[in-house]
């Protein structure tokens, strides 16, 4: 059945992307903090984990967004 109310579909899509943005922001804060903590604990000469963990999170979120928006 086709929903004839475009506002309902627009709000659902808006809330979906707002949730994705909130997850990305919270995830970035968490991974940056965790990366700082691991870099202090491991004591490398360069900050490896502060760059690696957020990068992995962003890649994962892009893959998730592509899977969620692709039509099968």
Cα 8–Cα 12–Cα 15 angle in degrees, nearest 5: 135
7 versus 36: the higher-pLDDT residue is 36
Position 15 scores a pLDDT of 87
| Residue extents of the structural domains in the chain | 24-72
Position 2 scores a pLDDT of 56
Three-state SS for 27?
helix
pLDDT grade for 7, boundaries at 50, 70 and 90: low
Element (H, E) at 36: helix 6-42
- Who contacts 65 (Cβ-Cβ below 8 Å, separation ≥6)? 20
Position 4 scores a pLDDT of 62
pLDDT in tens, 22-66: 989 999 999 999 999 999 999 988 999 999 999 999 999 889 888
Position 72 scores a pLDDT of 62
């Amino acid at each position: 059945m086709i929903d004839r109310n475009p506002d309902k579909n627009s709000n659902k899509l808006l809330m979906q992307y707002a949730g994705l943005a909130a997850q990305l922001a919270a995830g970035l804060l968490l991974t940056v903090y965790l990366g700082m903590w691991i870099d202090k604990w491991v004591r490398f000469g360069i900050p490896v984990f502060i760059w690696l963990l957020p990068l992995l999170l962003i890649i994962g979120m892009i893959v998730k967004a592509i899977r969620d928006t692709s039509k099968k």
